[in-house]
């Protein structure tokens, strides 16, 4: 089965290696760069296919790649090798029929890595120990790659303590009561822990010699050119960067002004966690006199290189993560990171500065992207996990540039178009939803003096295009474990405050992450306000009626919680599966009645815990593997499918924060959004029925349907995307094994739409799902669908 996602590129295969003798490159036009003597360049073009609007050719001592950009622009990059170092002889742009205008000449790529040792966290160990699992070296080796509360650069590490939640938060009020068991059926024995001092991670203290830093060096003698659909890749081997080694790659995309530069490198060292910085140096102020950006408040800023030489890269805390060099006659060039894959998971979204510039000499500067080395909010210092680099995996450390004939403001807007301005684009017939915000919402409003006061955290979310915000108070705040009136008073204020904070087309819900009895951490969602306690004292009934509250519940077991969910039409799903406090879950309880139940929706899509830059899709093992396992297990039970729900698990927000990278979103099918005092059942019904899809924001999947009957099925959808696509994946299961089909989409251009129609032979298949991934690591996916559904048995919804 083969699906074509675009016009095939008519090409002529140019075979063999081309050797070019030493020569002198003369830049076109009025170049200010001196002539550079280049060494001979051997460039293998055997995998290159010439195509209209996307060409590669040897010109003098350089390889010139020319491609058609957006809006009638044309771009050119010339590459060469000097003393074993790959260089960019020129980056130039022109409008249709115009003259080539250089934006950079004789540019040198630079990369830097800093690494430490990955450790398994004691937070991961706690639920495993409760399940009777010994924390052995083998367990540590597996689980460490999914760590969250790790900070490899913090020397020597600290003893465990109760983390405060939110910036500068005061101790929670009324937390003295003992809490419920997270698992009501404990194992026969508790697991053992490894000997030695442990804090937030096993194996402390960290040692200074664990930290290693290195700049990239090159011993490059050749290059190769590969055509892959509507893109051309130029690869330079011979990169070394401390414990990493590999190659340097530049990718040009037909129909787009993007240029991606990346170090593609691996390490054979065990337990590596790392950060990187990268960019190009050698830009001239004669061509681009200044760099501009928006500060965290959104105000325009600039630097015209009037100061003295910089000794290090200058960190820029820019709104939307964009830096533009321009101000000359030739156009502008922007640098920025990929919007999501670049970032590892954190608990807050403070802007740590992800771009840099550096004045290297009078008239010369460099610019690129950077990852931070640690948190700035003191209470989160011990949680900065970095990226994984498992041995032998090719880590792709990317830097993006956008080359434009336009001025700096227009160029910035072109970059912003790839993320819709860091806003989740409205889609008719759908409302955007994300859950699991620990904002200490009710407590902070009380402290402000009124539940009527505005709440800037919610303003940030609304500005990002979120329609439904699921809060999670009672997480280190209020009185979560009070067995009665104290908790009910807090719940009443919580409900009233969320009602007041809601607005037309903006609903704030009083949901919770209760972590009681079922096992692991989980979120619970009700269609209305429900008064319930997580603790049930011996003298308390399961339900009673209290003045001022009406019907209330006291829960003390899985049976109590399940009965309450059934009575109140509530649903639940696991947070951060297979890591943090849900390590070992949902796998450990897949046979339990409260999981083999339609009130259990599935698991959270919380990526970047265990992902690394060799991954082509987010959250493969923790999320997709877990959901596929469950749907194979339950395929013939009469249950509805289990789903993957976008979730954030994060804390306090401010208007200066950078929330877009860490917030995947659910697009929930709704004709209208219920108001705060209305019944929210339409929202939960759509989620229970699988009438929603998840996106990082750049890819939209509209009107998805599995059509047909019997063996002849067709998956149809209307796709829309910003970055050029990478592939589409169709995944299915037969109740025992999982299989998939990868459909390459590298022949797509940026900012496209397509009517998708994929035939599927459903013979022997129980369920199917589909996901779409782009060239920057962004993704979107629909929910699993039973191909031969049977009658549901566990509830009436």
Domain borders along the chain are 13-115+213-419, 430-786
- Res 430: pLDDT: 98
Rounded to an integer, what distance in angstroms lies between the CA atom of residue 189 and that of residue 7?
A: 61
- Res 261: pLDDT: 98
pLDDT at 8 over 50: no
**Residue burial 331-362, b: 16+ Cβ < 10 Å; e: rest:** bbbbbbbbbbbbbbbbbbbbbbbbbbbbbbee
Q: What is the pLDDT of residues 364-400, one digit of tens each?
A: 999 999 999 999 999 999 999 999 999 999 999 999 9
- Res 159: pLDDT: 58
Helix ranges restricted to H, 267-417: 408-416
Are 433 and 294 within 8 A, CB to CB? no
Rounded to an integer, what distance in angstroms lies between the CA atom of residue 609 and that of residue 620?
A: 11
pLDDT average, residue stretch 207-235: 97
- Average pLDDT of the chain is 92
Provide the percentage of residues in the chain whose pLDDT is more than 70: 91
- Res 791: pLDDT: 64
Q: What is the pLDDT of residues 119-177, one digit of tens each?
A: 999 999 999 999 999 999 999 999 999 999 999 999 999 755 544 444 444 334 344 56
pLDDT at 118 over 90: yes
Confidence bin at 526 (pLDDT 50/70/90): very high
Q: What is the pLDDT of residues 413-435, one digit of tens each?
A: 999 999 999 999 999 999 999 99
Q: What is the pLDDT of residues 309-331, one digit of tens each?
A: 999 999 999 999 999 999 998 89
pLDDT at 28 over 50: no
Total Cβ atoms within 10 A of residue 569: 21
Cα–Cα distances in Å, from 296 out to 120, 317, 351?
Answer: 34, 7, 8
pLDDT average, residue stretch 226-253: 98
Cα–Cα distances in Å, from 421 out to 116, 300, 424, 690?
Answer: 35, 16, 8, 28
Rounded to an integer, what distance in angstroms lies between the CA atom of residue 353 and that of residue 135?
A: 37
pLDDT average, residue stretch 483-501: 98
pLDDT at 19 over 70: no
- CA dihedral 31→360→243→38, nearest 10 degrees, is 30
- Res 12: pLDDT: 24
Lowest mean pLDDT of 19-33, 85-99, 560-574, name the range. Answer: 19-33
CA-nearest of 347, 232, 228, 357 to 301 is 357
CA-nearest of 267, 232, 294, 282 to 397 is 267
Token output for 408? 């700096």
- Res 60: pLDDT: 83
CA 707 vs. chain centroid, Å, equals: 31
- Res 21: pLDDT: 29
pLDDT at 87 over 80: yes
Left if phi > 0, otherwise alpha if psi is -120 to 50, otherwise beta: which for 524? beta
From the options 1.10.3470, 1.25.40, 2.70.98, 1.20.1060, give the CATH code of 13-115+213-419.
Answer: 2.70.98
pLDDT average, residue stretch 479-494: 97
- Res 752: pLDDT: 98
pLDDT average, residue stretch 215-236: 98
Element (H, E) at 494: helix 485-501
pLDDT at 33 over 50: no
pLDDT average, residue stretch 406-411: 98
- Res 286: pLDDT: 97
Q: Is the dihedral of CA 627, 630, 634, 639 positive or negative?
A: negative
- Res 794: pLDDT: 54
- Res 518: pLDDT: 97
pLDDT average, residue stretch 99-109: 97
pLDDT at 660 over 90: yes
- Res 7: pLDDT: 31
């Amino acid at each position: 089965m083969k699906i074509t996602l675009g016009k095939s590129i008519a090409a002529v295969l140019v075979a063999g290696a081309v050797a070019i003798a030493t020569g002198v490159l003369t830049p076109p036009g009025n170049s200010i760069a001196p002539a550079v003597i280049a060494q001979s360049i051997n460039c293998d073009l055997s995998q290159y296919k010439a195509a209209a609007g996307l060409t590669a050719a040897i010109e003098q001592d350089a390889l010139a790649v020319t491609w058609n950009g957006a809006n009638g622009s044309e771009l050119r990059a010339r590459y060469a090798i000097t003393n074993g170092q790959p260089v960019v002889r020129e980056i130039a742009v022109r409008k249709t029929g115009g003259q080539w205008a250089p934006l950079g000449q004789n540019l040198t790529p630079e990369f830097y890595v800093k690494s430490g040792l990955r450790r398994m966290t004691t937070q991961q160990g706690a639920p495993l120990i409760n399940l009777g699992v010994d924390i052995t070296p083998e367990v540590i080796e597996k689980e460490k790659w999914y760590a969250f509360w790790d900070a490899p650069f913090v020397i020597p590490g600290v003893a465990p303590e109760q983390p405060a939640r939110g910036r500068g938060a005061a101790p929670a009020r009324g937390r003295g009561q003992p809490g419920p068991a997270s698992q009501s059926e404990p194992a026969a024995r508790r697991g053992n822990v490894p000997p030695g001092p442990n804090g937030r991670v096993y194996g402390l203290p960290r040692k200074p010699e664990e930290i290693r830093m290195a700049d990239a060096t090159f011993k490059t003698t050749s290059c190769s050119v590969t055509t892959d659909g509507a893109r051309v890749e130029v690869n330079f081997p011979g990169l070394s960067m401390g414990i990493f080694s590999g190659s340097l790659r530049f990718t040009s995309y037909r129909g787009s002004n993007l240029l991606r530069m990346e170090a593609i490198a691996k390490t054979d060292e065990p337990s590596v966690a790392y950060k990187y910085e990268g960019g190009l140096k050698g830009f001239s102020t004669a061509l681009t006199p200044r760099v501009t950006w928006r500060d965290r408040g959104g105000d325009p800023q600039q630097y015209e290189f009037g100061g003295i030489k910089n000794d290090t890269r200058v960190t820029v805390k820019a709104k939307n993560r964009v830096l533009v060099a321009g101000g000359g006659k030739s156009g502008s060039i922007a640098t920025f990171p990929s919007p999501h894959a670049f970032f590892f998971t954190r608990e807050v979204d403070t802007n740590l500065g992800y771009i840099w510039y550096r004045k290297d000499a009078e008239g010369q500067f460099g610019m690129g992207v950077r990852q931070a080395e640690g948190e700035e909010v003191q209470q989160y210092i011990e949680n900065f996990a970095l990226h994984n680099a498992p041995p032998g995996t090719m880590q792709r450390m990317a830097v993006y540039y956008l080359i434009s004939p336009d001025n700096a403001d227009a160029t910035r807007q072109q970059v912003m178009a790839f993320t819709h301005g860091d806003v989740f684009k409205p889609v008719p017939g759908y409302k955007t939803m994300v859950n699991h915000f620990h904002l200490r919402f009710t407590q902070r409003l009380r402290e402000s003096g009124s539940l009527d006061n505005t709440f800037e955290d919610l303003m940030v979310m609304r500005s990002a295009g979120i329609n439904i915000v699921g809060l999670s108070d009672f997480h280190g705040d209020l009185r979560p474990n009070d067995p009665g009136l104290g908790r009910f008073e807090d719940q009443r204020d919580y409900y009233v405050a969320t009602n007041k904070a809601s607005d037309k087309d903006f609903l704030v819900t009083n949901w919770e992450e209760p972590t009681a009895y079922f096992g692991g951490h989980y979120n619970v969602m009700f269609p209305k306000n429900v008064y319930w306690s997580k603790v049930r004292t011996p003298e308390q009934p399961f339900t009673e009626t209290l003045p001022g509250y009406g019907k209330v519940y006291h829960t003390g077991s899985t049976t109590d919680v399940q009965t309450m969910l059934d009575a109140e039409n509530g649903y639940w799903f696991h947070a951060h599966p297979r890591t943090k406090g849900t390590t070992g879950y949902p796998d450990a309880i897949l046979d339990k009645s409260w999981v083999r139940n339609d009130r259990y929706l599935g698991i959270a899509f919380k990526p970047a815990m265990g992902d690394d830059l060799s991954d082509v899709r987010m959250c493969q093992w923790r999320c997709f593997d877990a959901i596929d396992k469950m749907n194979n297990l339950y395929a013939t039970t009469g249950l509805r499918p289990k789903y993957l729900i976008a979730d954030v698990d994060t804390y306090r927000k401010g208007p200066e924060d950078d929330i877009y990278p860490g917030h995947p979103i659910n697009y929930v099918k709704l004709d209208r959004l219920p108001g705060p005092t209305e019944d929210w059942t339409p929202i939960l019904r759509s989620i229970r029925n699988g009438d929603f899809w998840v996106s990082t924001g750049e890819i939209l999947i509209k009107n998805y349907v599995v059509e047909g009957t019997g063996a002849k099925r067709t998956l149809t959808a209307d796709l829309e995307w910003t970055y050029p696509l990478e592939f589409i994946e169709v995944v299915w299961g037969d109740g025992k094994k999982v299989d998939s089909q990868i459909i390459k989409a590298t022949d797509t251009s940026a900012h496209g739409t397509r009517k998708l129609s994929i035939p599927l032979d459903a013979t022997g298949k129980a369920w199917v799902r589909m996901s779409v991934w782009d060239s920057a690591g962004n993704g979107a996916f629909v929910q699993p669908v039973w191909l031969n559904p049977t009658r549901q048995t566990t509830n009436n919804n």
